[in-house]
Amino acid sequence: MVPVGEAPDPADDEFFGIPVDTGTACFVDDKAITPGMGDADDWYDNYFENDDPNCWFNRMDDEEHIRGGIASIRLPNATNGSNLILFHSGWGDGFFPIVGGYNTSGKLVAVHIDFQVLGDD
pLDDT for 3 equals 47
Backbone angles phi, psi at 19, to 5 degrees: -80, 140
Mean pLDDT of the chain: 85
pTM summary value: 0.73
Whether 5 shows a pLDDT value over 70: the answer reads no
User: Exposed e or buried b for every residue in 12-27, given b needs 16+ CB within 10 A?
Assistant: eeeeeebebeeebbbe
Distance of CA 98 to the CA centre of its chain: 11
Listed range (45-54, 72-81, 85-94) with the worst mean pLDDT: 85-94
Strands in 108-113's sheet, in edge-to-edge order, are: 17-20, 94-102, 108-113
Secondary structure of residue 43 in the 3-state scheme:
helix
Confidence of residue 64 (pLDDT cuts 50, 70, 90): very high
